Amino acid sequence: MQICLWGGLALLGWTAVSWGQSPGERFVLSGPLSLNEAVTTALRESPMVKGQSAEVEGARARLRRAVADTRLIGSATSHVTAGDGVNMLSGPSSVMPSDMEMIGPSASFNQNLTALFPLYTGGRLKSRVTSARSLYESIQADEETVRQDIQLDTRVAYRRVLWTRAVVDIFQALVDADQERLRIDRAMYDAGKVPLVNVLRNEADLADAQQKLTDARRDLNIARVDLKTVMGVDQKSDFVPSEQLALENLNPEGDTVQQLALESRPELQAVSKRLEAAGAEVKVAHSAFKPQVDFAAVTDWRSQRGAGNDAGVTVGVIASLPLLDGGSRKAQVAEAKADVQKVRQDGEQIKLIVTKQVHTSLLQLTAATQNITTAQAAVKAAEEDYRLAQLRYSSGKGINLEPLDALSALTRARTNLVQALFEQNVAIDMLERAVGAPVRGERQ
């Protein structure tokens, strides 16, 4: 599923918003709510999305820091000292480039300016920039993963509200039908046309239907709580989903969506960038075997009691190469190469998971679509059976049990149909998440 953050203007007609919200307060929705509006709200309000966006900002800052290491740096260090001995003093360790001065045995003031520029690092700084940029792009892909997960969760939660609401309507219709049957049979019993057992059976069926209606309303309220949580809005929100469950005609080609998934899944894009970063870290480790060369420019001005003033400038090139390290550099290279292999295998595992998810979603979609066809036929047959059973009973040719059983079968068929519609809609949502891109034309 592709994620798109629409502007708040589209929401003005259906939301009640307090723009003066204090930290910790949640967005409050009211009025009709479409599926796309629910997704838009979730992408804007979800703490998970906001948290991942913060991670992206952190990665961008790390990239800027890596780039900064390739540039000229400078520092100013001042020493104001007094004493009776000669000692070496260095500036604060957090300031780079650092300064170290030999301080004499009397009161003195020393002002130092130092500039440092890396001339050659064996590819260390360049590779670190490459690594930081790749990790930044990887975290951007992770952000897209979170956004797609939130979009899927919101769609499923929204459809669950539609499903449970449809079930409430079904059981409300059952209660209404049972109440009407009870009213008619009581009148017929009072007229001596039916036995008391008919009335008692109707009362029992009505009580059972009322209990099922209560449970269905509970499930609807829970589904609404879940949807509000996924969207990141306040539980005081009082919105009304404006859509209905409906059959979606979709028959995707398996090979096509599989290839699209391998090209589109943000998880695969993220691991590809992490592999680039790991490869760059190998180059960073190899750079430790090469000379490190800096250009330095230093100026000092010193005033010391009894010695007068002194000033000078030093400009030069500094080169350094480690000779013996006990095998530390080789170990760093080996570790970096092992990290590359680990990330590469992570990528292969993700490909296996993506392939599994696509195939599973296709199977679920096929089964759910077939179930809709079966359930539609069952509802049609159950409606006719109930109509005929009522006619037989009202004409005195049938017993009370026949319309009651027919009504129970009709309720079950209607419940199966809305469940099949829910499962088919969700199967398409799951397929789009598995692919990482739309497979619908016009989304429902």
pLDDT digit string, tens, across residues 342-366: 999 999 999 999 999 999 999 999 9
Mean pLDDT, consecutive 10-residue stretches, the chain (444 aa), reads 36 38 74 96 95 96 96 89 75 81 76 92 95 97 96 97 97 93 87 87 92 97 97 94 92 89 95 97 95 93 74 91 92 96 97 96 94 96 91 80 89 96 96 91 45
Q: What is the count of structural domains for the chain?
A: 1
* pLDDT value at residue 219: 97
In a domain, 370, yes or no: yes
**Dihedral angle computed from the Cα positions of residues 417, 423, 427 and 428, in that order, rounded to the nearest 10 degrees:** 50
Containing structural domain, residue 68: 8-18+25-72+123-288+327-435
* pLDDT value at residue 194: 83
In a domain, 84, yes or no: no
In a domain, 233, yes or no: yes
Taking each helix axis from N to C end, the angle separating 47-68 and 35-45, rounded to the nearest 10 degrees, works out to 50
In a domain, 314, yes or no: no
To 5 degrees, how large is the angle CA 107–CA 111–CA 115? Answer: 150
In a domain, 104, yes or no: no
| Domain containing residue 338: CATH number | 1.20.1600.10
In a domain, 217, yes or no: yes
Its pTM stands at: 0.84
DSSP letters spanning 8-46: GGGGTTTB---TTPPTT--B-BEEEE-HHHHHHHHHHH-
In a domain, 3, yes or no: no
In a domain, 443, yes or no: no
